Structure 1
């Protein structure tokens, strides 16, 4: 029989020895912790300042006598000011004995170039049962805080600038827009709400139906949906009709046209120019905000008014262009340019075109025979037959006629043409297959017409005083080449495919096509233009639209 007692005793002895060692380690660690010196008042203040510089509001709050309240206030201060940089510096520390101390801290906030706010704060430090802590008061971080006050950074603007058209008439100004919003969270019966709202807005927005609103709600489950946006005059007329469950009115200042008849893809570019104008002249302020909303200024200055904006758009020409494009049932656009200055006088699209975006300026479409004049110019300039030209020859001549240059127009995203698939980036945004190239935009064809009329490529612009920039040079074509192009355009109108327009005085123009798309581009005096009709289903739709455009231009001004 085997005696197991010796092994058991050895194991028990090992366990006892291990337990004793662990107990000794715990005693040593506890002794070390008990003997570790408490952080001094100065150390706590240094840690507080360091945490503020790191933006660590939780760590800073822990060094105070009221961590939760401190963290909440500190977070609001950082969120409300949202600085580019914040710097905190301990400028004075006074040891007042074993139970209290005192310090002064400088805070410096930077909100951008020339936008700085600095101040000093002071606070006490007390030795509490948990150790040294900064006596919490909201003024520890910024002056005048406490009693429900908040602090925030605000932009300050003077009166908004106006936008005038090419004739000096008011084109756009900032007005209050009233967004009528459907809020599913407060809408017990969507069917009842949408039917009541459709009836309420019918006098000014008859196309907004209960069915269309219900569709929007289904496509955006749980989200607020804007049913319609109303100008102040329309809203005032309907104001008492919106007490409907689930309907919210949101008022927002917006830059809109003074004449509601004017719609154009140039509106958003002009808004960008207007906003850049405001940004450049904007002031700034730091406000302490009372619970009732009263603002107590702490720093900053009022922004001066920015200059009004002189847009190149001509309202009379724009309205004529709009009347022309709405005559088409497929996507259509008209762009008009002043050859002598490069001013974009009009840009119109119908609703079908707007559904596809800004096709007047960015809609690259296969050129078809729209570049025949460019090919003729290239052959005449080089003294060769057209069949001997390369695409590079055509592209080089096109640049001399305003097509394919990389223009940078303030506020406006645009293209004129793309010739080869070797081009990349934005040039390829809407034309990626080789069999789609060359591709042109209505703006590009208007530039071509303006260049032929002028004799050289004009520098385009949508705001006077802010012309386009380009890194490419475009030398004018020889006079005999330009004369040939003008002669071909004159012949096209007098006894060619554009003969419908022979009654328009001094008109030069050229018809073109690419599959079912139709073009007409040309000039009359100091007005150059391009007309584009997509999916025209044969015929001379672009010529007919040009005829409508000039008939509208010939009408006497309203009023």
Structure 2
């Protein structure tokens, strides 16, 4: 039995033996006293190791010859390696004489699967006036620690890029420079903000002195970020910016769009997918931070470069969507999907919708006549009149068209529809709380894509990473899908969406729900949905769709 195992059990043994002694005395038998077979030096080293394994720097330090020096070093070690587990063990203890000896410890640190750091250290013990103590040296816990600090760090190779569906750069990591105002170092806030506004005017004219003054006054004494600039903008202004009293510049690597014209709510989801790849390929290291040499790696490995990602987003389609949504003065959104693959080609909202949250991908709104083709399909599939289908029948048919299905895409959260009152946790922005039929702009685009394709495509944001589907429904019979396509063609050629009939190959439906207006349809391999809340005209969604299609028809820039 080892020292530590004996130590864990000695309390029990002492109790048992104490009882035995009491019985022996009562019986008039010879008494005996149990002695710890370990020497004082052995007990000291065992206790020191136990304190290390319990991550108690104070307890371990008290067992050394210099507690005041040992405790901060041990505390930093446990802090710097806080996400690891450790097991110190005594492999050797040699007592040289009655007053001194030496020992050897092994240490096994684990920072996750296949992330192990094993080493051996030597130390000495001495008998002092206060008893036996471990002769303190930082090297008794980590090799070569004296004068340094130890850290567990993540290691990453060069960050990957994200390309759009046509192979153009879409997102890349760039240095973003946060221009921060610190009132503590600003003798004259008016002078500083006025000068900074003049400097920023060529690249950020909306950042005025008045705006900065208002923000400073709103939180007296607090630092505020005036603006964030890309390197290509900052480098021409740097000398002037840093000369302004009270200005600090904080540089942060950030994944941003390669073309600043391309902005979409999908960028955040792409950042999540990008980060998942970096996490998957990240390496690790234990480093000793030397005041003169910098970090010295003593364990770990460099993670391999993660592969570049190709998004399904098409920059040309995205720019067309942006031109469309800004034509409307009430909250509006547009989502485009490629029917053949399920790839999300574009998603955008205007400023009014941006204030409401994730309208394009998670906002659920009263479906109104958006569900007319679903109701028609449910009736045709069952051989009954569309008005006679119940909510359960409607939900089943909607699922076969991609609505209300449980999709899972890493890094991308979205809602398609809510049918009935059986789901919770959805984001509903408008509409009657009693509505049984709710749909999102992405859901309406997916409905159009399903009709165009003949079955529901699995939505996808990164090529090669389609959504996983729980209980994927069977497609509708082809004759039902053909009837829906005919309905959509007639709606454009002869019905409420006839304003759009000049766009060749377009099939779609103009729909409404209260004051909200919708248009969803497809042309070629692009299916899309337009949503306008509180529309100021009955044809507002149709006209927004017209602008989108007009921009889409232009040659890519």
Fold match, TM over 0.5?
Answer: yes
Match of 1:35 in 2: none
8 Å contact 2:403–2:417 — kept in the other structure? yes
Match of 1:404 in 2: 404
CA distance in 2, matches of 1:332, 1:312: 22
CA distance in 2, matches of 1:97, 1:222: 65
8 Å contact 1:533–1:542 — kept in the other structure? yes
8 Å contact 1:343–1:461 — kept in the other structure? yes
Shift of 1:220: 4.6
CA distance in 1, matches of 2:184, 2:86: 40
Shift of 1:431: 7.6
Shift of 1:141: 1.2
Match of 1:69 in 2: 69
CA distance in 1, matches of 2:87, 2:186: 48
CA distance in 2, matches of 1:217, 1:136: 51
Match of 1:49 in 2: 49
8 Å contact 1:39–1:131 — kept in the other structure? no
Match of 2:29 in 1: none
The change in CA–CA distance for 1:225 and 1:150 in structure 2 (over 3 A counts) is same
* Per-residue deviation, residues 221-268 of structure 1 (Å, max 9, x unmatched): 554332211110000011112222322111111111111000001101
The change in CA–CA distance for 1:116 and 1:432 in structure 2 (over 3 A counts) is farther
8 Å contact 2:49–2:89 — kept in the other structure? yes
CA distance in 1, matches of 2:435, 2:197: 44
8 Å contact 1:193–1:244 — kept in the other structure? yes
Match of 2:542 in 1: 543
Match of 1:107 in 2: 107
The within-5 A match list for 1:490-509 is 490-509=489-508
The change in CA–CA distance for 1:431 and 1:469 in structure 2 (over 3 A counts) is farther
CA distance in 2, matches of 1:429, 1:504: 33
* Structure 1 consecutive aligned stretches of length 4 or more whose deviation exceeds 6 Å: none
CA distance in 2, matches of 1:431, 1:98: 84
SS in 2 for 1:497: coil
Match of 1:476 in 2: 475
Whether 1:525 and 2:524 are equivalent positions in the alignment is: yes
Whether 1:371 and 2:371 are equivalent positions in the alignment is: yes
Match of 1:297 in 2: 297
The within-5 A match list for 1:327-406 is 327-406=327-406
SS in 2 for 1:120: strand
SS in 1 for 2:144: coil
Shift of 1:191: 3.6
Match of 1:229 in 2: 228
Match of 2:556 in 1: 557
* Per-residue deviation, residues 17-69 of structure 1 (Å, max 9, x unmatched): xxxxxxxxxxxxxxxxxxxxx99222222111101100111111111111122
The within-5 A match list for 1:112-123 is 112-123=112-123
Whether 1:239 and 2:242 are equivalent positions in the alignment is: no
SS in 2 for 1:236: helix
* Per-residue deviation, residues 163-213 of structure 1 (Å, max 9, x unmatched): 111111111111111111223443444443333322221211111223333
Match of 1:213 in 2: 212
Match of 2:417 in 1: 417
Q: How many residues align?
A: 520
The change in CA–CA distance for 1:206 and 1:191 in structure 2 (over 3 A counts) is same
Gaps of 5+ in 1: 1-37
SS in 2 for 1:461: coil
Match of 2:14 in 1: none
SS in 2 for 1:105: strand
Whether 1:454 and 2:449 are equivalent positions in the alignment is: no
8 Å contact 1:187–1:246 — kept in the other structure? yes
Whether 1:92 and 2:104 are equivalent positions in the alignment is: no
Match of 2:34 in 1: none
Q: Based on CA coordinates, which of the two structures has the bigger radius of gyration? A: 1
Match of 1:78 in 2: 78
CA distance in 2, matches of 1:293, 1:447: 57
Match of 1:193 in 2: 192
Match of 1:275 in 2: 275
Match of 2:125 in 1: 125
* Per-residue deviation, residues 327-384 of structure 1 (Å, max 9, x unmatched): 1122211111111111111111122222222211011111122111111111111122
CA distance in 1, matches of 2:547, 2:109: 61
8 Å contact 2:363–2:427 — kept in the other structure? no
The within-5 A match list for 1:434-449 is 434-449=433-448
Shift of 1:120: 0.8
The change in CA–CA distance for 1:194 and 1:519 in structure 2 (over 3 A counts) is same
Give the alignment's TM-score, normalised by structure 2: 0.90
8 Å contact 1:421–1:433 — kept in the other structure? no
CA distance in 2, matches of 1:174, 1:88: 41
Match of 1:145 in 2: 145
SS in 2 for 1:305: coil
Query: How large is the Cα RMSD of the aligned pairs?
Result: 1.9
The change in CA–CA distance for 1:469 and 1:198 in structure 2 (over 3 A counts) is same
8 Å contact 2:356–2:429 — kept in the other structure? no
Match of 1:255 in 2: 255
Whether 1:182 and 2:181 are equivalent positions in the alignment is: yes
